[in-house]
Amino acid sequence: MARLVVFSLVPEVSDKVEREYIEGFSVDNYNASALRVSHMFFADDTLVFCGAARDQLYHLKGVLLCFEAVSGLRINLGKSEIVLVGPVSDVEDLAHVLGGRTASLPMKYLGLPLGARYKSKEIWNPILEKMERRLAGWKRSYLSKGGRLTLIKSTLSSLSTYFLSLFSIPSSVAHQIEKLQRDFLWGGLGDEFKYHLVNWHAICTPIQQGGLGLRQLIPFNQALLGKWLWRFANERNTYWRQVIACKYGCDRDGWHLKEGRGGHGDWALGEYTDLMAFLYQQKVKRTEADQLRWVCTTSGLFEIRSYYRLLSSQHVSNFPWKSIWQNRVPHKVAFFTWLVAHGKILTIDNLRRRQICVLDWCFMCKRAGESVNHLMLHCEYAQELWSMIFCMFGISWVMPQSTYALLHCWRRKGPAHLIWNAIPSCLMWLLWRERNQRAFEDSERHSAELKLTLLRTLMEWIAAVSRLSFPSVFAFIDDCV
């Protein structure tokens, strides 16, 4: 037994019932004969609920002594706590009986707030603080967008998942967290101003639909809480369900709570009615025994992911995500290609759209009219690179109008096309770097030089992720044909 937590209740509450050795508390305040809870075991802890009376604590001590004698295990009272519920007058006297520390509500238990108001914003403060602290640490180090994205996904999302599966997040807190994530993704070093190139809603759509697959907090929170509604309907005999049903009442078929007993405020009425409305739309087979089935999965079992998809109403779209994310190119390059596909890199036309006063000029062909599609596909300089590729592969190709369309029709299936599939990302990435060299460093390379860099970079990337190795650029070209 790692820890013993004793909850001492106010005597008035327990006076209504006949005195017992260790009284526990009645789940329903209005009905003394309802379900009573005297103790619980959770994780490594034992929680005992008893009245705030000396004799009850002596009884408890007796039970613990018996336990020690029978089991040979010792209870460490130094680790135990007496938690007071409501006003208790002779605290020290009571604490002396057992010898543990005393604490009061609200308190922190296993990292979660206990006894705090359910919808209070304060319970989210530790999460926000933790996030801010981590971000401040990471901000100082240089990270590519790809790296930032991975960090947001792995750490920032998982930080709050535990809380999100138990509490309904206030929308102001959700917005604060999302703002932290947003600023971190687009942010530069320190407080330097950076453009947010793609809006947050687009980022939060799944990768297959052109987003970055980050989760929107509010629907994700609802999906996680939906799991409890599902379990309420299905786990008829579990103790937690009995406690809820006793406190708030249970309706007709026992699948959900009674309405109008004040419990729904806590149970987030919105999600509850949405989920139930959805469930009741489903057809009834009269020959089978009634049971809840989740129609979004083949197993009929509830799945948080599918409920999230339903809540965030994501539609199938035709985004060329495989051409971007399923290539063996570095993550930061894939992120760049994703921006290109959305037409969001900061070319001259995009800067002008953001009211930045710059000369309309293509640094590559030295004429007016820099746009994403011009720079990447139709500029003379770009065309030289593309032509080399088409020659290497021995094909003729009509260049599509946009990078989006190009990515759409480029991809070939199968491992034999590793090199081919990596080409658009690699070529556009190098073009963009060359363009920025010219724009900001005032140095330029001839297209012949960039062609060679393109081949070398492709060789390196392919060799890094496969067993292929190329003794020379010529061997590499031979492999393409």
Residues lying near Zn ion in the complex (CB under 5 A): 362, 364-365, 379
Q: How far is CA 426 from the centre of its chain?
A: 30
Element of type H or E holding 411: none
What is the nearest approach in angstroms of Zn ion to the Cβ of residue 392? 23
For Zn ion, which is the closer residue by CB, 28 or 384?
384
Q: Which is nearer to Zn ion, 151 or 364 (CB)?
A: 364
Least Å from the CB of residue 174 to Zn ion:
44
Residue number with CB closer to Zn ion (163 or 363): 363
The nearest distance, CB 348 to Zn ion, in angstroms, is: 10
Residue among 363 and 410 whose Cβ is closer to Zn ion: 363
For Zn ion, the closer CB: 311 or 382: 382
The nearest distance, CB 364 to Zn ion, in angstroms, is 4
* 201-226 b/e (C-beta count within 10 Å ≥ 16 → b): eebbbbbeebbbebbbbbbbbbbbbb
286 in helix, strand or coil? Answer: coil
8 A C-beta contact, residue 307 and residue 226? yes
Using CA atoms, how far apart are residues 371 and 99, in angstroms rounded to an integer? 75
- Give me the least distance between CB of 362 and Zn ion, in Å please: 3
- Fill in the amino acid letter for 281: Q
Considering the complex, state which of residue 379 and residue 427 has its C-beta at the smaller distance from Zn ion. Answer: 379
Rounded Cα distance, 64 and 67, in Å: 5
CB of 346 to Zn ion, least distance (A): 16
Smallest CA-to-CA distance from 45 within 71, 79, 72, 73 is with 79
Q: What order do you get walking across the sheet with 39-42 strand by strand?
A: 39-42, 45-51, 3-9, 81-85, 101-104
Cα 317 to Cα 114: distance, rounded to the nearest angstrom: 44
Closest listed residue to residue 323, CA positions, set 210, 435, 221, 190: 210
Which CB, 307 or 381, lies closer to Zn ion?
A: 381
Q: Tell the smallest beta-carbon distance from residue 381 to Zn ion (Å).
A: 6
**3-class SS of residue 82:** strand
Amino acid at 224: L
